[in-house]
Amino acid sequence: MKKISISKALADDIVAASRILAQQGVLDAYGHVSARSDREPGRFVMSRSLAPALVTGKDLMELDADSEPLPGDKRKGFLERYIHGEIYRARPEVMAVVHSHSPSSIPFGATRAKLRPIYHMGAFLWSGTPVFDIRKVKAENDLLVRDRPLGAALAKSLGGCTCVLMRGHGMTVVGDGVPEAVYRAIYTEMNARLQIQATQLEGPIEFLSDEEGRRSTAANRGTLERPWELWKKQALGRR
């Protein structure tokens, strides 16, 4: 089998991200994380079809721009790898993607309630959380983004945002690196949970303004190393 082209550091980050997201309850047996190749920008890397908590470096597969494995790699990839490939195609600056079925995000994909930043950790949601409704693209569907046209439609729904909700399914977030995508997956879940709690109290809810969201997103980028180091240690032990 062909060796994957990415750096060892990036491969380690994808493995760590898979373990972290499982440990944090964002991914269970389902969901996945990927990174754009740091050596072949038209390609990306993610695990073969496997529960994220079990991912090791040996499970990583390199996929081409059409989300297909490189010649010679006969392993089974994730059905929904097109989510990743089509976002990388549409958003050249995106370096990592997480797709999850994160429970607290589900109500926001199924109702009229808009997921909005309720605190600074969810600030990246300021740019909007569009809802992808697969029915509008394909009436007869099983909710899964199982081909390129569905992936392209999802990427179109995401537009320039950081998070897209998927009706009856889950959500997908992007980042400028693996730690940022992981951070956003974790804090989308937390923000959604807090927003649901806030609706039970006397409203209206005071969300972050767009300007606060923009500034806070930039500030959080500067401290990303701190939670990343902590989460890695919790998920992988001493390294």
Residue 172 near residue 163, CB atoms below 8 Å = yes
Checking phi first, is residue 170 left (phi over 0); if not, alpha (psi -120 to 50) or beta?
A: left
Provide the H-helix boundaries in the chain.
Answer: 8-23, 81-90, 106-110, 148-158, 178-198, 210-221, 225-236
Q: Which single residue is written with the structure tokens 């995106």?
A: 94
Q: How far is CA 222 from CA 9, 12, 162, in A?
A: 20, 21, 17
Q: How far apart are CA 166 and CA 118, in angstroms?
A: 20
Close Cβ partners of 66 (under 8 Å, ≥ 6 residues apart): 85, 148
Given the residues 80, 86, 180, 189, select the one marked as catalytic: 80
What lies within 8 Å, CB to CB, of 136 at 6+ separation is none
Instruction: Give the span between the Cα atoms of 185 and 175, in whole angstroms.
Output: 10
Please indicate whether residue 86 is annotated as part of the active site: no
Beta bridge partners of 163: 173
**Cβ(87)–Cβ(163) under 8 Å?**
no
Active-site residues, by number, are 80
